Chain A
Amino acid sequence: MRNVVVSSVFAALLVLSGCSDKEPQVEAVDNAAASSNAGSSEGLSGKSLGSSESESEIIARLEKEFSSVYFDFDKFNIRADMQANVSKDASVAKSQASKYAIKLEGNCDEWGSDEYNFALGLKRANTVKNALVAEGIDTNRISMVSLGEGNPTCTDKTKECWAQNRRVEFKLLP
């Protein structure tokens, strides 16, 4: 986190509200981007002879091997038609992606920005985690985060779109 701009306008606001100090603007470091860049440079330095694929490229390729798990409205149980996806994901995690940690990202549709919606996303991720552990994945390899309604893949106002957003996605960490 670093200070980048001191706003004179907001300083005036604080004078009005009885404060005498200036109000800064803070630019948050995008850790996701930072870690992604770090992974990229590490990958470049760690390239094996004869291979042109960096670690970040390997991760990006392997992440595509996973299938997102989709959920019903306001539910966090794994649907019958999603069991195959979970089994396939467990298989990928145990084989090609076995050297990486797994981050499960729980997502929701747009119906609610409150904590409950975030908790719903987390419960979805936790359900998938339990299913992966049941398939033999080490629980210590798996971390979770709920992104609530904040990471939609589709922003149309349609039932198909909302259904696409109620999902758990797989990310790999070096």
Chain B
Amino acid sequence: MKIVISILLVIASLFAGDATIDVVKKVDSLPTIAVEDSTTSHEQAFRDKFFKSIVADLNVLAIFNVDGFYRQVDYDLNRVLVENKDMKYVLRYKLSEDNGSSFSVDIKLMNGGNVVFKKNYNVSSSNIYMFVSHTIAYDINEFMGEAPVEWMKRKVIFSRMISPQKSELVISDYTLTYQHVIVKGGFNIFPKWANKEQSGFYYSSLDGKPTLKYLDIKTGKGSVIKSSDGMMICSDANEDGSKLLLTMAPKGQPDIYLYDVKTKNARALTNYGGIDVGGQFMGNDKVVFVSDRLGYPNIFSTNINSNSVQQMVHYGKSNAACSAHGEYIVYKARESSESFGGNTFNLHLISTKTDFIRRLTAVGVNEFPRFSVDGDAIVFIKNYQSQSSIGIIRLNHNKNFLFPLKYGKVQSIDW
């Protein structure tokens, strides 16, 4: 019996950290949390918005069973409301404005009537309340000792199609509640953050010859990086932003190039006669990319130093986009081959160390997967029944969340 238990423990430990294994947690087993509002300074409509935002963020954390009932209470009351007495945790907050110019939030997290965590947040305007909400959720997650959710505080950048050959680049929070159009006019697509700090981004301009441009978001200073006939896209930037993976087609042939930001030199990593696109860094010397070298789009890898090519995905006949983090690759697969019907595209996750494949989505057109910087989550574009949304997949919690776009269609995304 001891031997059997030992074997089971060994097997369990082998798969405990494998994101390709579905994690099924019963909602009932998660600790309960209720949210109490102590605000007196704002209109009820704004209080409702903030309450909804904080409840949504706590739900996305996926570590609580969140009670969504709105209740008000005095901030200094030294016990939770009687309606919340059975809750494991209660988050109480109070919004306030100083001199009408800055926005302040006080929070305290209570457990069994005791305050276990408290903090104050200050920003310059209540218009960015959603970022305060995300930061509160981030801090509570950290207090609970869970894996970091750094992505929650990061900015998302996406390209929104307005009409044929007209798009705008938008910076938003991960829920799309806050949106700021940073480049408007023209046909600009494939925005890509230039570095981990998100101090600037690259994008492709298709007004004229395809051109890669850079915009510093602090100064607003733009510059031209490179042009190419046919295609010019920045697919990925390495962690310190010193190297880029570009898709260019100077002779009409789309290939992947390694670009050195400092020296401005570009070196071809592929030279196949078909389609090689979408290079993604995987570690220091490996690049995964999409190629049709088997007659259909699939995911391959190459070594930056040797140019040897290896097939990475052995499932599906049309895998046209991917993103890599650590040992994991998420890719988009066409699940139907209807030339003229409604096609389904789903996202799948594989590990380069096991044979497991995990399907991450079920219906609609799911595409443009991008790992978060910490690998904890995947952001993607979902188009379903004429609605364009940004989706978040919490890999270790087996939960997907969708945030619909009010107008236009998301063309590409990065965070």
Interface residues of A (CB under 8 A from B): 1, 3, 6-17, 19, 21-32, 35, 72-74, 111-120, 122-123, 125-126, 129, 143-148, 150-153, 157, 159, 162-163
Contacts and interface: CB of A to CB of B under 8 A. Distances in A.
Q: Which 8 A-B pairs have the closest CB atoms?
A: A24-B220, A159-B340, A31-B207, A21-B218, A12-B124, A115-B277, A28-B186, A116-B320
Given A12-B125, A29-B185, A115-B231, 11 more contacts: A9-B180, A12-B127, A12-B128, A17-B155, A23-B180, A23-B220, A31-B207, A114-B320, A115-B235, A126-B252, A145-B209
B303 interface: no
Contact of A145 (B132, B190, B230, B339): B230
Interface string B293-326: 0000100000000000000000000101100000
A143 B251 CA distance: 10
Interface string B120-151: 00011101100110010000000000000000
Given A12-B124, A28-B185, A32-B165, A116 B218 contact: no
A120 B275 contact: yes
A23 B412 CA distance: 22
B189 interface: yes
B64 to A, nearest CB: 24
A50 to B, nearest CB: 33
A33 B410 CA distance: 24
B275 to A, nearest CB: 4
A28 B188 contact: yes
Given A9-B180, A12-B128, A118-B277, A21 B219 contact: yes
24 contacts: A9-B127, A9-B180, A13-B155, A16-B123, A16-B135, A21-B218, A28-B186, A32-B187, A73-B339, A111-B343, A111-B365, A112-B320, A112-B367, A113-B368, A114-B367, A114-B368, A118-B277, A119-B247, A119-B275, A144-B252, A150-B165, A150-B189, A153-B164, A159-B341
A125 to B, nearest CB: 7
B348 to A, nearest CB: 15
Contacts, number: 197
B205 to A, nearest CB: 7
Contact of B187 (A7, A10, A122, A150): A150
B395 interface: no
Contacts of A163: 340
Nearest to A114: B321
Contacts of B10: none
A148 B321 CA distance: 14
A142 B230 CA distance: 11
Interface residues of B, number: 77
B183 A26 contact: yes
A167 B189 CA distance: 20
B342 to A, nearest CB: 8
B411 interface: yes
B191 interface: no
Nearest to A26: B183
A31 B186 contact: yes
Contact of A32 (B131, B155, B207, B229): B207
A157 B306 CA distance: 45
Interface residue SS majority, chain A:
mixed
Contacts of B210: 145-146
B131 A17 contact: yes
Which residue, B254, B321, B342, B409, has most C-beta atoms of chain A within 10 A?
Answer: B254
Contact of A126 (B125, B230, B247, B342): B230
Contact of B290 (A12, A116, A143, A148): A116
Given A113-B367, A118-B233, A16 B252 contact: no
A151 B131 contact: no
A70 B413 CA distance: 29
B290 A115 contact: yes
B131 to A, nearest CB: 5
B165 A151 contact: yes
B91 interface: no
A147 B340 CA distance: 21
Interface in B166-186: 167, 171, 178, 180-186
B318 A74 contact: yes
Nearest to A163: B340
A125 B125 contact: no
Contacts of B365: 111-112
Contact of B222 (A14, A26, A114): A26
